[in-house]
Chain A
């Protein structure tokens, strides 16, 4: 892009207005950006917004820990579906607490419940994955949408309580402290080694964040 007027901001990716629930700060950013419209110093105006956003930075350690107590992991014989369902059920009251506090949820992209989204994804560990719930959608789209919903469910439930935390901490919690994270890493390895090029792409590029080794 080559926008004629741009305000460079130092905030982490995904937060172009700086910080959530900081209306005064967001308005400052917006006012500075829109003020560039009255500049007559073209053909390009690029200004810097130098103040950091309020709150922890992406890589900060705040001491945040997820308060959810998960059931003990099932035995090897019971398999990944049992582990995931137990975890999703344990998160349910926290997810509801998130809905109560935030008044909204980002779950709803796939049209599946979190349990069904998880079951669908885990089926790719088998040689014959489950049939798509909506056959009009390509497999890779169904897979991506199920993943988006599962991530949203975990992230909202895990952060249901207000408080300081950094985005890197919540990512690390999901990928390193949950059964879902462990199973998705296993699934990622399987899909990367598989023959379906589109699923290989999804596994390589859009499952694991680069901050977590993706």
Chain B
């Protein structure tokens, strides 16, 4: 998230008008050290695989991105135009830091990298994503994931 003063005025107004969702609970949890963590990426960058259906307006579903995916097969089809895409054109890791995670696993800084990662399309009201998020949590558990890095776009 950028500094508010870095946005143009109309974008600042838009940001300030967004509702802040209420949550009934606070999911605090503690776990093993970083070197024992199996890490997955969950992003809201609107990423999909080449050939898959693109995200539509208000999409509440998600796409699965296997760890082995060639970066050339990852497309971005977020509906918003109010963020930079040139960084992602140059380097997939700017929103999907898969190469960095693999390096950290190779160096022993984290335990391992999950087999599967996930992308939502971040222009959707988060309240509509709950069913998908719960389904995704089950898939993360099946993949033995015990740490998730969320990269918001």
| Chain A residues near B (Cβ < 8 Å) | 1-4, 8-21, 23, 26-27, 30-31, 33-35, 37-38, 40, 42-44, 57-59, 102-106, 108-110, 138, 140-141, 144-145, 148, 151-152, 155-156, 159, 165, 167, 170, 198, 201-202, 206-211, 214
Contacts and interface: CB of A to CB of B under 8 A. Distances in A.
B82 A210 contact: yes
Given A10-B3, A109-B54, A167-B87, 19 more contacts: A1-B126, A2-B23, A15-B94, A16-B151, A21-B91, A23-B100, A23-B103, A37-B34, A38-B33, A44-B26, A109-B48, A109-B77, A144-B57, A152-B85, A167-B86, A202-B57, A209-B81, A209-B82, A210-B8
A144 B57 CA distance: 9
Contact of B6 (A4, A16, A57, A145): A57
Contacts of A211: 8, 11, 82
Interface of B: 1-3, 6-8, 10-11, 14, 21, 23, 26-31, 33-34, 37, 39, 45, 48, 50, 54, 56-57, 71-72, 75-77, 79-95, 97, 99-101, 103-104, 109-110, 126, 147, 149-153
B54 A148 contact: yes
A98 to B, nearest CB: 8
Given A30-B104, A35-B34, A155-B89, A4 B28 contact: yes
B54 A156 contact: no
A37 B111 CA distance: 13
B54 A4 contact: no
A59 to B, nearest CB: 7
Given A27-B103, A57-B6, A102-B89, A13 B82 contact: yes
Contacts of A155: 85-86, 89
B27 to A, nearest CB: 6
Given A31-B109, A37-B31, A14 B83 contact: yes
Contacts of A103: 71-72
B149 A34 contact: yes
Given A40-B30, A104-B72, A210-B10, A3 B150 contact: yes
